[in-house]
Amino acid sequence: MANQSYTITAADSSSLAVNRVLRNTYLLLSLTLIFSALVAGFAMVTNAPYPGIILTLVGVYGLMFLTYRLRNSAWGLLSTFAFTGFMGYTLGPILNMVTSSYANGSSIIMMALGGTGAIFLGLSAYALTTRKDFSFMTGFLVVGTLVALVVMVLGFFLHIPGLQLAISGLFMLLSSGWILWQTSAIIHGGERNYVLATIGLYVQIYNLFVSLLQILSIFNGRE
């Protein structure tokens, strides 16, 4: 029997690496979203209080930094679930507020959830099928995010009609852009760590959901 030799080109190796990162990222993202939803549901049932802005910021950025430091070890997975679980906990009080403040609160939540899923799937499918490189958006997204954060802080002190709606719309736009950017980074080799890729996509899905929830709540009005 003749000997057969097989060679793997650099392109093949790169394609395998990309597929592996994509597979691991979407698997971990699915698991963390489920875990986050369970924690949010538990927080709702137990009527858990909102941790407050200071504790929330410390928890979010502290766990993000921890995950970044542990990204190349098995502990990084545990840190990822700790981060997404904490984010889910912060959702519980927000969802309870919506259900108690609006007659159709449950419908608003479901519409926001469905809209978030549709937007994420649509953007991901577009980035994966077109294989476009969205790295050119980096500067715009960074500057836009900084501007959005500044405007959000000002929103706490300025009671301008329509400002909250504008902020939510801006965050929706930026989150959509970051989803395209993150997916593109995986496809084109800019991101090879699926833990960091998962955290990046999760944060944008979270922001997208909260922003859409805010917009739908504003248009539905209070009881």
pLDDT in tens, 72-115: 999 999 999 999 999 999 999 999 999 998 888 899 999 999 99
Determine the pLDDT at residue 11. 53
Range of weakest confidence among 7-11, 39-43, 161-165: 7-11
Output 220 or 71, whichever has higher pLDDT: 71
Tell the residue number behind the tokens 């549709």, with chain if given.
118
Per-domain residue ranges of the chain: 12-220
Range of weakest confidence among 39-43, 180-184, 202-206, 217-221: 217-221
Output 70 or 158, whichever has higher pLDDT: 70
**CA 164 centroid distance within chain:** 20
pTM of the model: 0.89
pLDDT in tens, 7-25: 455 555 567 878 888 999 9
